[in-house]
Amino acid sequence: MEGLSERIAVVTSPEPLHPPRIVIVGAGFGGLSAATRLGRAEADVTVIDRHNHHLFQPLLYQIATAALSPADIAAPIRSILGRQRNTRVMLGTVTGIDVAGHAVMLGERRIPYDYLVIATGAQDAYFGHDEWATVTLSLKDVEEARAMRRRILIAFEHAEDSDDEAERRRLMTFVIVGGGPTGVELAGALAELSKATLARDFRRIDPTAARIILVEGGPRLVASFPPRLSAVAARALTRLGVELRLGVPVTDCDSNGVLLGVERIESRTVIWAAGVAASPAAQWLGVEAGRGGRLTVGPDLSLPEHPEIFVIGDTALVAGPGGDPLPGVAPVAKQQGTYVARAIIGRLTGRTPPPFRYRNAGNLATIGRREAIADFGWLRLSGRPAWLLWSVVHIYFLIGFRNRLVVAMEWLWSYLTYQRGARLITDERIETAPDQGLMGGHDDGSRATSSTT
């Protein structure tokens, strides 16, 4: 495959004064695959991202549940691409695209391109209730994961400290909206955090009594898996003490709980893992967005009216073999990134690339430390074998040798001890400032508790 780039002898770019300029927006799985594949092309490659690091998003829930540190699952984009002399990395936020003028806009600044790859991923969608974003927690980047970790750990601290029985119950009730892989993995990890890791560390509350409720609007969990594996996931979560509410839509959310049809659940921690929508790429380009805000692309993943603009990963709407859209998962984004790099190199040499075709790389999800489900089409696994497979695959794909070793060690450690490595509450002064002192802030004058037995 590297032969492709070596064969470029004559550059057929319309502007022969400079090498073709390829701009890649987003350094997730898709953008990074494209960038590394273009590392030896005779082109100027620019990678723009809002963050300085590539994030291994499938493990983000482990930061939120205090199992891993952010640095364990992130690697600096500059250091990944540091050896590619034709590649420049820019830290910046795209504000628009000048389609006619062939330039990406970063505020007032223009980054011109001959070829553009849009790999900006997805963001949360709230089914038309954008106000729910302010009262729920979500999980898309390191900051959000850290905020979730803080909120979860602080909830137990507040509960330990509260003399109000109703408030204590609210604090120890965690609602996760969305029964996809993220929701299922979060629910499992949260159950183990409260029932094992924190079990002995408090005096007035019993963390093992925390309620974890997983809400899914559809009839079954992880609907992208076959029904048999959905049932495995449901059983495993129930065994961990997670309460399931299937086929129940969320009708309202506020900072004290959620409404599920007629059932009101009081909770101070509502986690949103329900819908994703593509990043605002459609708006930047001034084109009509398809399902889920995604952009419909041609067989070579370029826009029908703009063959110089490619869209990949969660931002693109591409039909899979069965006709359904390909899911927003890492293997799809990676294969598309690689494909697009080869397509651009092909175009530069005047060749038309064959259409993109997805090779099914399988579908994996884990539920706590014992159970996982795996679907490869021809092979379906659950139980310990799937869990082992899940661990190996995730460690293998973590970018950077160092991160792999650290994550493997953390997992081994927490598997053996049930302890968690990253149980930090930081920024808590911000969180507690309004109360001036302890978060609960009541004044009973009595001895707060008797701690001896």
The residues that are catalytic are 185
Is 133:126 a contact under the CB 8 Å cutoff?
yes
Q: Decide: is 432 part of the binding site for its own copies (CB under 8 A).
A: yes
Report the candidate in 171, 153, 187 with the shortest Cα–Cα distance to residue 256. Answer: 171
Q: Write the DSSP string, 412-426.
A: HHHHHH---S-----
Among 1-9, 29-37, 304-312, 418-426, which window interacts with its own copies (CB under 8 A)? Answer: 418-426
Query: Residue 359 region, left (φ>0) first, then alpha (ψ -120 to 50), else beta?
Result: beta
**368-387 residues near its own copies, rule: CB under 8 A:** none
Rule CB under 8 A: choose which of 37, 102, 146, 195 binds its own copies: 146
Q: Decide: is 161 part of the binding site for its own copies (CB under 8 A).
A: yes
Closer residue to its own copies, CB minimum distance, 73 or 270: 73
Q: Which two tokens stand for residue 309?
A: 């603009």
Among 116-124, 128-136, 372-380, 433-441, which window interacts with its own copies (CB under 8 A)? Answer: 433-441
DSSP symbol at 195 = I
Rule CB under 8 A: choose which of 4, 11, 90, 277 binds its own copies: 90
Distance in angstroms (rounded) separating the CA atoms of residues 442 and 439 = 9
Q: Decide: is 134 part of the binding site for its own copies (CB under 8 A).
A: no
Residues composing the chain: 453
Q: How far is CA 65 from each of CA 180, 234, 295, 374, rounded to the nearest angstrom?
A: 17, 20, 33, 22
Rule CB under 8 A: choose which of 111, 187, 213, 398 binds its own copies: 111
Among 274-282, 346-354, 374-382, 442-450, which window interacts with its own copies (CB under 8 A)? Answer: 442-450
Closer residue to its own copies, CB minimum distance, 153 or 341: 153
DSSP symbol at 326 = P
Among 209-217, 230-238, 356-364, 404-412, which window interacts with its own copies (CB under 8 A)? Answer: 404-412
Distance in angstroms between the alpha carbons of the first and the last residue of the chain = 69
By CB atoms closer than 10 A (0-12, 13-18, 19+), residue 452 is exposed
Q: Minimal distance in Å, beta carbon 325 to its own copies?
A: 30
Q: What is the total count of residues that contact its own copies (CB under 8 A)? A: 89
Q: Minimal distance in Å, beta carbon 315 to its own copies?
A: 20
Q: Which two tokens stand for residue 313?
A: 């990963």
Site string for its own copies, 246-285 (x = CB under 8 A): ----------------------------------------
Q: Minimal distance in Å, beta carbon 443 to its own copies?
A: 4
Is 12:349 a contact under the CB 8 Å cutoff?
yes
**307-346 residues near its own copies, rule: CB under 8 A:** none
Closer residue to its own copies, CB minimum distance, 143 or 263: 143
**178-207 residues near its own copies, rule: CB under 8 A:** 198, 200-203
Distance in angstroms (rounded) separating the CA atoms of residues 149 and 192 = 14
Q: Decide: is 109 part of the binding site for its own copies (CB under 8 A).
A: yes
> In the chain, how many H helices and how many E strands?
13, 25
Strands 275-278 and 122-125: antiparallel
Rule CB under 8 A: choose which of 208, 238, 251, 449 binds its own copies: 449
Q: Minimal distance in Å, beta carbon 67 to its own copies?
A: 10
Closer residue to its own copies, CB minimum distance, 379 or 433: 433
Q: Minimal distance in Å, beta carbon 288 to its own copies?
A: 26
Alpha-helical segments (H) within 204-296: 227-239, 281-285
Among 5-13, 324-332, 352-360, 412-420, which window interacts with its own copies (CB under 8 A)? Answer: 412-420
Element (H, E) at 74: strand 74-76
Q: Minimal distance in Å, beta carbon 267 to its own copies?
A: 21
3-state class (DSSP) for residue 311: strand
Closer residue to its own copies, CB minimum distance, 169 or 423: 423
Q: Decide: is 157 part of the binding site for its own copies (CB under 8 A).
A: yes
> Hunting for tokens 């960038």 — which residue is that?
35
Among 152-160, 238-246, 271-279, 296-304, which window interacts with its own copies (CB under 8 A)? Answer: 152-160
Q: Decide: is 16 part of the binding site for its own copies (CB under 8 A).
A: no
**46-85 residues near its own copies, rule: CB under 8 A:** 46, 50-53, 69-72, 74, 76, 78-79, 82-83, 85
Closer residue to its own copies, CB minimum distance, 52 or 256: 52
Rule CB under 8 A: choose which of 122, 137, 153, 234 binds its own copies: 153
Report the candidate in 231, 234, 229, 236 with the shortest Cα–Cα distance to residue 375. Answer: 229
Beta carbons within 10 angstroms of residue 286's beta carbon: 10
Closer residue to its own copies, CB minimum distance, 112 or 249: 112
Beta carbons within 10 angstroms of residue 200's beta carbon: 10
Distance in angstroms (rounded) separating the CA atoms of residues 191 and 212 = 7
